[in-house]
Amino acid sequence: MPDTRLVAALLGDGRIGLIEQPIPPLLPGAVLVKVYHSLVSPGTELGGWRELSRQREHPKPDAKPTPFGYSNAGVVVEVGAGAEEFKPGDRVACIGAGYAQHATYAVVPHHLCLLLPDNVTFAQGAYAMLGATALQAVRRAEPQLGEYFAVVGLGLVGQLTARLLQLSGCFVIGWDTIAFRTELAAGWGLDAAVLVGPEDEVALTRAFTGNAGLDGAVFAFGGDGTKALTSVRQCLKCAPDGHRMGRIILVGGIKLDYTFGLTNADLREAARTGPGYHDEQWEYGSPYPPVFMRWTTRTNLALVMRLLSEGRLDVDCLTTQIVPLQEVETKLSPLLDQPDTLLGLVFAMQH
């Protein structure tokens, strides 16, 4: 067992490099994991692939390397007191900012880990965090069988959200400004996709609903969402009195500069992976009583793993590149020259 680990870090010149640091101490209620794969969430971790490319043009040479990452999968090496539900050799998916980093080893609170089904690979298990984030957004949307939804932003969370809405019995149209993403979504079976800009998202969405209007929408992107909200509002179902109705779910760091009118539309925020995340007493300690809280971060993760295992949720189609962590400095740079062809980037650790 080594004393140090390799960790991916964001550098001031927009590159991703490697640093070496001590393996964190194993705390009570946590497990030590030998990591085999991790998934990059570009929007939250890097500001987006386009932003990372822009940083290379405007470097900050004095910036300190910043480790990042919050979703990986591997094998349990050692178990802390209070985490005896796991044992060395268990295959697990792990989540959590500051815990499940892009690193060769990770120490993770036990409630942020979950056993991998036998037929789920480490690369698939690394989607746990984003899968649970999408699932929590769908729960906040309260979809009903046969409803129409739009997913605005077809990054990783958007693609996963759209599929989960379909599994909930909804008809889903996706919006994005990047053709590669709309084409990828159409390839795995999204009901419809709109390339915003060249295509009229309002007209196409109204037609998609048979002019009945959207029952809801999920905003799965960061940055300024004002224009998107204006467009989505035009697509919502409309009562005879002229009031728009529907549920709009906001995921991520969206900014809005918008004057709200007389509508019956709900705007709801979705808090990451569900209850429990960011509660250290829960992460390291005892579960919430299931009779009062059926769906927590942990049970959301369990459902994501089940959907992966049963083939109902496909993440392989979202993985566009697998890069060895130890070769990230040489292998990733050429990929950043074409940021719009990057979606699911998985790091593979070489042990």
- List of the chain residues with pLDDT < 70: 262
Burial class (CB in 10 A: 0-12, 13-18, 19+), 286: exposed
Q: What is the pLDDT of residue 52?
A: 79
Contacts of 81 (CB under 8 A, 6+ apart): 28, 29
Place of tokens 């709009």: 248
pLDDT of residue 49: 81
179 phi, psi to nearest 5 deg: -60, -35
- Residues 168 and 213: their CA atoms lie apart, in Å, by 18
List CB contacts of 241: < 8 A, sequence separation 6 or more: none
Res 59: pLDDT: 77
Give the model's pLDDT for residue 299. 95
Q: How much is the pLDDT for 201?
A: 98
Backbone angles phi, psi at 56, to 5 degrees: -65, -25
pLDDT of residue 116: 98
Residue in 59, 89, 58, 53 with CA at minimum distance from that of residue 74:
89
pTM: 0.95
pLDDT the model gives residue 57: 77
Residue 277: phi and psi, rounded to 5, are -65, 130
CA–CA gap between residue 117 and residue 124 (Å, rounded): 11
Angle made by CA atoms 8, 221, 212, in degrees to the nearest 5: 150
Choose among 149, 114, 106: nearest CA to 131.
Answer: 114
CA distance 23 to 38: 17
Show the domains of the chain with their CATH numbers.
4-127+275-348 (3.90.180.10), 141-269 (3.40.50.720)
Alpha carbon separation from 180 to 117, 183, 273 (Å, rounded)? 31, 5, 27
Write the pLDDT tens digit of every residue in 254-290.
899 877 776 789 999 997 899 999 999 999 999 998 8
Do 297 and 274 meet the contact criterion of CB atoms below 8 Å apart?
A: yes
